Amino acid sequence: MNALITFPTSEALRRLHLVAEASDRELMERKSRAIADGSADRAIADVLAAEEADYRGLYQRYQANFLSVSPVYGRFLYMMARSVGAKRIVEFGSSMAVSTIYLAAALRDNGGGLLIGSEIETSKVLRSQFHLGAAGLGDLVEIREGDALETLKDVGGEVDLLLLDGAFSLYLPVLKLIEPWLKPGAPVLAEKAICPDFLAYINNPANGYLSLPLPIDTGRRNIFAVRVG
């Protein structure tokens, strides 16, 4: 079974990646220019400072943007969730549900399960639900609306995989929220892990994780960790 190459999931993903590319083109071009002119690190510092001041306000500005994972990273998410036989997945930052669809497709092919997503922007929650329905995966996903620091406090059971893809400065507090539920051997995937406190924690094996920079979409500074402790 591979829902990724099966209608309607395959068609929903094809269409969403096209729409995402068009919606986010300007942002992506700005990012490429920053990498080229050497100002990317300053841009990262600016984002972290803006998040610290008001992360809700910052993400409101991006409510029309997908900010989604690439098709390659999405395939990797699917493969990880299949390889651990995931039944319960938690996602911090669902946006328009592109990563959610890859992960929920793995749940479908694992024989069922639950993905608990989180999204602070109401309009994105509504669009996510529509996209998940179009992908034929709505029955496997609960997107919790609001601040993940509140909505992910109780995830109701052991977690097989955690994706961190929301406000960068909240990766560590969200990880700590989920940690008591996180199964030994569970992968923790952090998209664009740029916050120093999170990196210091996840890269220190004394905290119960082994981690590596993930050589996929390398400009995005992705981290792959496994809970080993």
Ligand X SMILES: C[S@@+](CC[C@H](N)C(=O)[O-])C[C@H]1O[C@@H](n2cnc3c(N)ncnc32)[C@H](O)[C@@H]1O
94 vs 211, which CB is nearer to ligand X? Answer: 94
Comparison of 92 and 229: residue with beta carbon closer to ligand X: 92
Sheet of 209-213, strands arranged across: 141-145, 114-119, 88-92, 161-164, 187-190, 223-227, 209-213
Contact between 167 and ligand X (CB under 6 A)? yes
Stretch that binds ligand X, among 37-45, 107-115, 119-127, 196-204 (CB under 6 A): 119-127
* b/e per residue 206-223 (b: at least 16 CB within 10 A): eebbebeebeeeeeebbb
Q: Is 134 helix (H, G, I), strand (E, B) or coil?
A: helix
- Count the neighbouring beta carbons within 10 Å of the beta carbon of residue 44: 16
Residues 128-157 close enough to bind ligand X by CB under 6 A? 147-149
Rounded-to-integer distance, Cα 197 and Cα 33, Å: 27
Residue 189 forms beta bridges with which residues? 163, 224
Query: Closest residue to ligand X, Cβ-based?
Result: 93
Backbone φ, ψ for residue 195 (5° rounding): -90, 120
Contact 193, 164 (CB under 8 A): yes
Residue window 48-87: x/- pattern of binding to ligand X, with contact defined by CB under 6 A: -------x---x-------xxx------------------
Gyration radius of the chain over CA positions: 16
**Cβ-based nearer residue to ligand X, 121 or 160:** 121
162 part of the interface to ligand X, by CB under 6 A: no
Q: Is 32 helix (H, G, I), strand (E, B) or coil?
A: helix
By CB under 6 A, which span of 25-33, 42-50, 163-171, 195-203 interacts with ligand X? Answer: 163-171
Please pick, from the candidates 3, 13, 95, 186, the single residue that binds ligand X as defined by CB under 6 A: 95
Identify the residue among 47, 116, 121, 172 touching ligand X (CB under 6 A).
121
90 binds ligand X (CB under 6 A): no
Q: How far is the CB of 41 from ligand X (least distance, A)?
A: 19
98 counts as binding ligand X under rule CB under 6 A: yes
Contacting residues toward ligand X, per CB under 6 A: 55, 59, 67-69, 93-96, 98-99, 118-121, 124, 147-149, 165-167, 170
